[in-house]
Amino acid sequence: MKLRLFIQGDAPEMRDAQDLCDRIKESCDMEVETLDFDEREGKEVAEVYDIYTTPSFLVTTDDGAVVNSWIGSAPTEFELKGALSL
């Protein structure tokens, strides 16, 4: 499983989303990929998954298939941990 976070700018909700991912990374010992819409790679990956709002969270399999997503909003830590333990 992989967690991908899509952000843009430095608004409070982006910082909160990053903080949530940092907590998940520490407690679940898992890789978190943060992709910024302001960078080319972030835009390209976002287009693959049809992500156009931030913050957005994707839980994917190692081959990129989406298991769960929150587009334009942040899940609770409980929801995110539940999705990652599938």
Q: Quick count: other Cβ atoms within 10 Å of Cβ 79?
A: 13
Q: Which amino acid is at 13?
A: E
Alpha helix segments (H runs only) across the chain: 12-28, 40-48, 77-84
Output the CA torsion 39→84→65→25 (10° steps).
30
**What does pTM read for this prediction?**
0.92
CATH architecture of the domain with range 2-84: 3-Layer(aba) Sandwich (3.40)
Residue linked to tokens 């839980």: 59
What are the domain boundaries of the chain?
A: 2-84
Of 29-33, 39-43, 63-67, least confident by mean pLDDT is: 29-33
Give pLDDT, residue 24: 93
Residue 8 is classified by DSSP as: -
